[in-house]
Structure 1
Amino acid sequence: MLHALYLLGTASFAASGVLAAHRARMDPFGGLVLAFAAAVSGGTPRDLVLDRHPLYWTHDRVLLVLIATVES
């Protein structure tokens, strides 16, 4: 259940990045970049401060597929 909520939050942040790219009239690659940046920007500094390696999004391929799916 917790993992499903985690994926839902990631998808919503990715969607906000896609919407920002759409408002800025970016191409699909720009939308993918903003979706990725919005989706992982909260957890990456957290992992760096807590000295957790590897970063959470580098070993969970489901997140990368989810972000790419939201963008398309």
Structure 2
Amino acid sequence: MSQEQTQQLDLPARIVERVEDRLPRTEFDSPEEYVSFVMEEVLYRVEQETEDDDFEEVDEDEVKDRLKSLGYLNDE
């Protein structure tokens, strides 16, 4: 792993255990390297998907009116 600036991030113990269980079946030397790789892959895919999406601008009041008409919001 390169000498990049890092920050600490807490993960649930169950995820850390799963990473540690998988580590022997990977090419990575540490859980940190493995998690960094997985996060890079996931973020790349998510960013690619959102770049390709054509988002339609919607008026917030129209959305609220529609949600009210469907019974999801109450008149306040």
Question: Which structure would you say has the larger RCO, counting Cα contacts within 8 Å and 6 or more residues apart?
Answer: 1
- Same-fold call, TM > 0.5? no
Structure with max Cα Rg = 2
> How does the TM-score come out when normalised to structure 2?
0.30
> How does the TM-score come out when normalised to structure 1?
0.31
